[in-house]
Each structure stands twice: as structure tokens, then as C-alpha cells.
Chain A
Amino acid sequence: MLGALFGVAAWGVWRTRDRRGLRGYLHGDGTARWFVIGLSVIATQASATTFLSIPGQGYQDGLGFVQNYFGGPLAMIVVAAVFLPLFRRLKVLTAYEYLGQRFDAKTRLLGAGIFLIQRGLGAALTIYAPAIVLSSVFGWPLGLTIVGAGLVCVGYTVVGGSDAVRLTQQWQLGIIFVAMVVAFFLLLARLPAGLGPGGAFALAGGFHKLDAVSFSTDVHARYTFWSGTIGGFFLALAYFGTDQSQVQRYIGGASLRESRLGLMFHGMAKIPMQFGILLLGVLLFVFYQFQPPPLLFARPSRELVAAHTEPEKLHAVEAAYAAAAGEQTRQLQGWLAARSAGDLPGAQVALVAAQTAHARADAARRDAAQLLKEAHPPAQASEADYVFITFILDQLPHGLIGLLVAAFFAAALNSKAAELNALASTTTVDFYGHLFGHDLGEAHQVAASKWFTAFWGGVAILAALGANLVENIVQAANIIGSLFYGAVLGLFLLAFFTKRVGGTAAFWAALTAQALVLLLYHYLDIAYLWFNLIGPALCVGLALLFQALFNLMGNHRRAVPVSS
């Protein structure tokens, strides 16, 4: 499978070996059809974190995370109707070039600069996250895993450019989907006899894992219908409308119609796809209720705790966990028997007893996490990220382990390639070409773009080598986006929908809004999705205010001539 994976990368390089010209290198040859565009947009977003971390999220918190994607379809409509036609009409190479045309050079550089910072952080995350999980599980050296995966990806992105990314993404995504579907059905087959899908759903519902939609208006609740639809709308609008890694995927379609269809395809596919991956996590939860998992899913965490904790202390936690988990399994077997016999009151009693035992087992796992923190304070990687990979390694046959590992690497490679491609485009077009190269030839700019791809690949590999995660991988990626996208989205909304705001007001408003968002995140205890609404609202509001003040000052100066 790894051979097939590298083969796909080599094929991408070979197919795109004759790409000439800056536009062709950055956007492709302009023949991409809607299906390829849609898959490319999905693959760019669906990094390895999607397939490693989201099943763990489903295992831990149930289906509620799906609400994070509620704003997506609505945002895709706005992107297809407003953003895309304007980008194509103005024939921009990057989204930030449009800011330069509408406002001024400094606003363009600000938008591009914020993108480079946040996407640079994201690029390190997309390579670090799967590498740490895979290396710790298989015992591969972490540094070597990061460098190896990073270099393959940099290689074919440098040689092939945007088309290599798009071409290889189709096949990589194919490998991923096959692997996930196989894992899903194998998991169903490994559930206890007599449980069946209906019983699995009933059990998951009993533990509140099927609570997919919450209409709570509590702003502290991380995922609700409101935060997902409103905050998620602005997050998706910013990501798909202003993030060059996505803009680059759809802007080079064969026609406006093909690009729009690609976006609509994504708008309809995203929620069902994420639901399916979360459901896999929920089924993992059901599976592990009958076959208790280790005290800590992460093997390196277990080794750290064993090496640095007093044996009596560790044994006490292990004993408490074993007793609670054993009691839970017994009660659930009783629940299953009562359910099969049609004894609903008996089944309810057994379920309540199992829930009580589950709470005790969870308390023991929290104690173990505390022991880990005491043993080695920097070791904070989320347990949820290790759930799916642990199931794969412990429960699946070797051939399928190979298929799923290949899928994770495919996801890591395709997302990383798209990011590198976008980082290089933005650096070349918005900084290098704009500041230094008005008379540079196209061949020079293509060469520069290749060098910048290699440069950003090196930065991402180095940052990944020094990274240490404190959040669940997929949430860390969403938090970074939520904090940085708002101000840039505000700039684009000002550009599209206002006529009176000038470059200077927009620039200072975006800068102030970005600083305020970072400050508010530190002091305000609300769900992070709301910052996707706060950021653009602050940017637009401040720009209107600043412009009014500038107009007032201008009028005042004209009315009272300054004597010198």
C-alpha cells in the first residue's frame, strides 16, 4: 500500500512534468471538471487529522461535533455566488491580489501576511499530528516520520505545482474512502453477537453519544446548532472564500460553472461525510464497552506513566479501572440479554448500572491522565487521537492495517501539498513578485514559486519537529483558523459590499480586529466558533468607524487651513 501511495505521488509528478507558466503552475491548466474540483476541495480540508482525530472525537463526545459543519453548505453558496465570480473575473492569482486591487498594497500585504502566519502554523500541524500518532504507535522515530513524509510531499508539489496536487488528491482520497468504509464494516462485524446495528444505536443513545443537535443558547457550549450554523458559517466562509489553499483549488476550474458545481458538490457532501466518520467513532465507543480498552490509549503515555509513577499509586488506579470496566461489561451483557428477552424494565436497570460503572471507569482514566501530567508535564497529546489507531492495530488483520496506514499518509500528504502550494503562491505573488519583481520574467517567478514551496516545506518540517500539542488535533486546527480568519474575512466583506471604505481604514480596522480577537480569546470564556463572527464584525464595524473619522478629519482640515 505504501508502494501504491508513493506511486500516486510519482504519477502526479510525471503527469504534470510539462506545466509551463506561472498561472499554469499555480492554478493548473484550466481544464479541471466539477467532480475533480469538488474532490480536491474535500481532500484539501480532509487532512490526516480528519481520519485520525474525528473518530476519536466521536468516541469521546458523540455526534455533537457534526454541528461544527452546519454553516458549511450556506457558506459554499455565498462563495459560489459572490467570491468565485469576482476572483475569476479579475483573473487574480491569489485571493489577496483582489484586496490590492480594491484597497491598496498595504491591505493586500496584511491579508497575505495573516494567511501566511496562520497557514504556516496549520502546515506544521498537518504533518506533526499524524506523524506523532503513527510514530508512537509503530515505534518509528518521530523525527524520521515527519521528515520522510514531508520530503515526499515537498518533492511532488515543487515539481508539479497545483495540478500535481489536484491529480494526486483524487487517488489519495480514493484510498482513504476505501479504507474508512472497510474499517466501518469490520467494526460492525466485531460488535458482540446479538447486538446488531439497532442495539448499537440504542446503547450509544443510552450514553448520550447520539446527541447530534443541541439547540442550547449557552455561549459556553462548544458545539450547538447556533454556534455551528452562525460561527461555522463565518468559519467556512473565511476558509473557502479567503484561504488561498482552498481558493487555489477551485479558481482554476474549466469554467465558472464547473467551479461552482464543484463547490456545491462539496456543500452537499460535507455533513454526511463528517457524520459517517463521527459515527465510526460512536461505534468504536460501543465496541469498547464490551471489550474494555487500555487505561490510556496512547502507548507512549502508558510507558511514561509506568516509568515515572510509584508502583503502588499506579496499581491503585489500574485496579479501580479494572473493577469499574469489568462491572460495566457485566452489566451491559445483562442489558443485552434482557433486551433480547424483551425484558425492557430489566434492560433499563442494567443500563443505569452500566452507566454508573462507566462513570467510575472514566474517573480512573482521569486519574491516569493526572499521573501522566505529573510524570511528564509536556506530554499532553489528547487521548481521543489514539482511539482509532489503537483499534486498527489491536483488532484488524495485517493487510488492512497497511491499507489504513497508507490512508493516513495519503491524507497527510494531500492536505500538506495543498497548503505548501498555497503558501508558495502567496509568497511569490503577493510578496516576492509584488515587492521586488515587476519586471521579472514568468520563468523566474515559476522558479521562485518552486523555491518558496521548498522553503515552506522546510519551515513546516522544522516547526513540526519542535511542536507539542495541547488540544485534540482537529480542534487545535479549528481554533487556529477561528482566531485568524475573522479579520481577513472582514477585509473581503468590506471589499465586496462597501464602496466608501478606503484602504487605510480597512488596514487599521483589520489589524485592530486581529489584536482584539487574540485578546478576547485570552479573556473571554466562550466557544471558539463565535470568534468567527466576532472577528469580521469587529473588522467591518471598526472600518466604518475609522472611515467616518477620516472623513470628518478631512472635512475639518479643509474647513480650517493649517498655517505653517
Chain B
Amino acid sequence: MSHPPERPDDETGLPGLRTWPAVYWAVVVFFAVCVVLLALLSGVHA
């Protein structure tokens, strides 16, 4: 599967979340997993 080429630094227009959605989603999912694990830790030893 080919990925679209990365947009150059000097491209006009407001940059957004288009370029690397998978990476950003990975960070969001990782964050959610951290919160869930920490909440479970709080609950187990409460």
C-alpha cells in the first residue's frame, strides 16, 4: 500500500491532521490505554 507523499514545509494553507492521521491516532489510543490502566490501578488498590 503506498502512502501519499509528505507535504513540503513551504506548502501554503493551514497545516492540519491530514498528513499523519495514523500516528496521531496511535498517540491518542496510547494515551487512552495509559488512563485506563491508571484508573484500574486506582480501583484495584482503593
Contact = CB atoms under 8 A, between A and B. Distances in A.
Nearest to A261: B23
Query: Interface residues of A toward B: which range?
Result: 35 or more
A213 B35 contact: yes
A160 B35 CA distance: 40
Interface string B2-44: 0000110111001111011001100110110011001101101
A442 interface: no
Given A73-B28, A256-B9, A205 B38 contact: no
Nearest to A83: B15
A213 B16 contact: no
Interface in A65-83: 66, 70, 73-74, 76-77, 80-82
B35 to A, nearest CB: 7
A20 interface: no
A212 B38 contact: yes
A204 interface: yes
Contacts of A275: 34, 38
B15 A85 contact: yes
Nearest to A228: B35
Contact of A81 (B19, B39, B41): B19
B27 A267 contact: yes
A77 B27 contact: yes
A14 interface: no
Nearest to A82: B15
Contacts of B35: 70, 213, 225
A81 B31 CA distance: 17
Contacts of A211: 42, 46
Interface residues of B, number: 26
B39 to A, nearest CB: 4
Given A81-B17, A256-B6, A264 B27 contact: yes
B44 A73 contact: no
A210 interface: yes
Contact of A212 (B10, B16, B20, B41): B41
Contacts of B19: 81
A556 interface: no
A257 B15 contact: no
A201 interface: yes
Contacts of A268: 27, 30
30 contacts: A63-B41, A63-B42, A66-B38, A70-B31, A73-B27, A73-B31, A77-B24, A80-B20, A81-B15, A81-B16, A81-B19, A82-B14, A85-B15, A89-B9, A89-B10, A201-B45, A204-B45, A210-B45, A211-B42, A213-B35, A213-B38, A214-B42, A260-B20, A264-B23, A267-B27, A267-B31, A268-B27, A271-B34, A275-B38, A497-B14
A-B pairs with lowest CB-CB distance, top 3: A205-B45, A85-B15, A212-B38
Interface of B: 6-7, 9-11, 14-17, 19-20, 23-24, 27-28, 30-31, 34-35, 38-39, 41-42, 44-46
